[in-house]
Structure 1
Amino acid sequence: MPSPLPVTTDKAQRDGTTATSGPSRPPRRRGARWVPLAYVLPAFAVYAAFLLYPLIRSAQLSMYEWDGLTLGTFVGFQNYAEVLTDPDLRASFGHTLVLIGFYAVLPVVLGLPLAALLTRARVRGMPFFRTVVFLPQIVAMVVVAVAWRRIYDPDGPLNAALHAVGLGGLARGWLGDYTFALPAVGLIGTWVQLGLVTVLLMAGMSRIPGERYEAARLDGAGPIREFLAVTLPAVRGEVAVALTLTIIAALKTFDLIYVTTSGGPGNSTAVPSYEVYRRAFEQGRVGSAAAVAIVLTALIFVISLGVNRIADREEK
């Protein structure tokens, strides 16, 4: 069978050479590049219907003074100016920053050594302890709030324990005290978020090769130095994820505040998410509530972006 004749191209003719034809590419069908978008479209439609549209609608409502029933009045950015000038609103954002310390910073500080202990220690019944640590995550927050409200009662178990050990002078109505109400609520958040943070960190620590610890021991590193030099650098990504999730939980907490203190005593435990509820459904100030919600959403986005950017920079 004769071999195929060489195909000569214009460039080959100019160069005095010949080029044989290679395997031809199948023609690309028109519209093939839209196929991936067809797979994304259903999920994007749900995302747009339940998140993007409400967000855009809230931004629109934030420009109006509206009670939810009658015709609204356009006020521009007046509601946003109120967020900056109203002392109660500014205090609520300050309370959220305090809660970030209890919801995010404290669980990470406590979760790192706890996760290292649960991962590295060889103790009987370790799966049981891991389950106990994660248990608060599977209990509804309303149930958690009701239980802790009972613990903090003036005649509750906490004050009874203080009287039993001779510290009755410290007993008080914790959720009714202007000074201790916010830290008391924050400690509930610490208890809840500690399990999530610990499990995330344990997942990261379980992937660390054992050879790294052996090399550290050969260099004379003790347990603390081993933790700082081997464990901590290896779980930076998990720490960033834990901080992102817990900071978001602190910023948008509502049910815990609503059940335990309802923002009281006074406004000492009010947070932005509770102010959104109170202004929209109790005071009939829907536009102001929408402005607070938009500002809170922007704050969550900026803080989450900042945490992830810092984590990515450290990893590089």
Structure 2
Amino acid sequence: MTAWLFIAPAAIAYAAFVLVPLAMSFYYSFLRWDGIGEARFHGLTNYITVLTDPKLLQIIGNAFQLVGYFTIIPVVLGLAVASVIRGHMAGPFGTATRTILFLPQVIPLVAAGIAWSWMFASTGVVNQGLRAIGMSDWARGWLGDFVWALPAVGIIGAWVLLGLCTMLLVTGITKIDPSLYEAARLDGARPWHEFRYITLPGLRQEIAVCVTLTVISALASFDIVYISTLGGPGITTTVPGLEIYRLAFAHRQVGLASALAIVLMVLVLISITPIQWFAREKK
């Protein structure tokens, strides 16, 4: 009874703000409803639409493309930085590096989106830098280009998540016994061998956490896309989170929006389940 009393406040809050809305979304996904008038049972029509409509499939595909930017870039760079500053964590170099890389985490996503929108503009610092080094042909309105808009959004997300991944990996690398590196060097191991056979296995769980968080951030992204591109040009940067918002509040298709939300949740669970399996300790 004592344990349940301690758990109750968090359990009530979780049920009120997560479980109940989730159950309501699941119920709405079977309806044809504009959010105001009479709701009608629509069966699996909304789910069939989500899984067959070319526009919605492209939008889901956009989110999976962002996974490559939101996940691969921060994790790879985070591993590189953690390996470089492994022996200098207590010194000023390690402290300065961690502080600089973690700064994006304390900047509101809205502010980050606005700042990067200015930098990616036709007259922004990105294009000014390209012109300064003689690459004027590459200058363009990055966030308004049908080809480069999605990669540009991916770069913004990678910048935001780099600090989080770096901090997690730097923290994880401190738990690895330094004697393992000393023994490896005595046996003639090179830095790459140390990284491959000591650092990577030792950071298995931290890498899994980073990948899990970044995959969820990519698939459930909203803020950065909404601020930087509003899903344009066309639907080249539209992601499920933004489309759910539009369907529910702009087009009054609450049932279809709920179905897309449920499908997105399932895709997130399917995506992170193998990662959790990877994070298990090998026996």
Q: What pairs with 1:217-232 in structure 2 (closer than 5 Å)?
A: 217-232=185-200
Alpha-carbon displacement from aligned partner over 1:5-29 (angstroms, at most 9, x marks no partner): xxxxxxxxxxxxxxxxxxxxxxxxx
SS at match of 1:269: coil
Relative to structure 1, the CA distance from residue 105 to residue 303 in structure 2 (aligned partners, 3 Å threshold; closer, same or farther) is same
Do the aligned residues in 2 keep the contact of 1:100 with 1:247 (CA within 8 Å)? yes
Structure 1 residue 121, shift from structure 2 partner: 3.7
Amino acid of the structure 2 residue aligned with 1:187: I
**AA partner of residue 72 (structure 1):** A
Partner of 2:43 in structure 1? 76
Q: CA deviation at 1:36?
A: 2.3
Q: CA deviation at 1:126?
A: 2.5
Q: Could you tell me how far apart the structure 1 residues matched to 2:279 and 2:49 are?
A: 34
Q: How many Å separate the matches in 1 of 2:13 and 2:92? A: 47
- Once the two structures are superposed, residues 23-76 of structure 1 have per-residue CA deviations (whole angstroms, 9 ceiling, x without a partner) of xxxxxxxxxxx4322322221111101100000001111111111111111101
Matched position secondary structure for 1:315: coil
CA shift, 1:311, in A, is 2.0
Measure the CA separation in 2 of the matches of 1:76 and 1:35.
44
Contact 1:236 1:315 in 2 (8 A): no
How far did 1:279 drift?
0.5
Partners in 2 of 1:309 and 1:283 — Cα distance?
40
- The corresponding residue for 2:128 is 160
Candidates 9, 12, 28, aligned match of 1:61: 28
CA distance in 1, matches of 2:197, 2:52: 47
Among 198, 222, 234, the residue aligned to 2:202? 234
Residue 125 of structure 1 deviates from its aligned partner by 3.5
Q: Deviations over 1:175-204 (max 9, x none)?
A: 111100000000111111111001000011
The answer on 1:311 being equivalent to 2:244 is no
The CA RMSD measured in Å over matched residues stands at: 1.2
Distance 2:237 2:62 in 1: 7
Q: What runs of 5+ residues in structure 1 fail to find an aligned partner?
A: 1-33
Unaligned 5+ residue runs, structure 2? Answer: none
TM-fit CA distance, 1:107: 1.1
Partner in structure 2 of residue 42 of structure 1: 9
Alignment identity in percent? 45
Q: Which structure has the higher relative contact order (CA within 8 Å, separation 6+)?
A: 2
Q: Give how far 1:139 is off.
A: 0.6
Other-structure match for 1:211? 179
Report which of the two has the higher share of helix: 2
Which digits, 9 at most, give the CA deviation of each residue in 1:206-263, with x for residues without a partner?
1111110110011100111111111111000100011111111111110111111111
Task: Return the match for 2:61 from 83, 94, 116.
Answer: 94
Q: What is the one-letter code of the residue matched to 1:244?
A: T
Provide the rounded CA distance (Å) in 2 between the counterparts of 1:130 and 1:37: 40
Distance 1:252 1:293 in 2: 10
TM-score for both structures, normalised by structure 2: 0.97
Match of 2:85 in 1: 118
Residue 297 of structure 1 and its aligned partner are, at CA, apart by: 1.2
Q: Of the two, which has the highest radius of gyration?
A: 1
Which of 104, 113, 120 matches 1:145? Answer: 113
- TM-score, normalising length: structure 1: 0.87
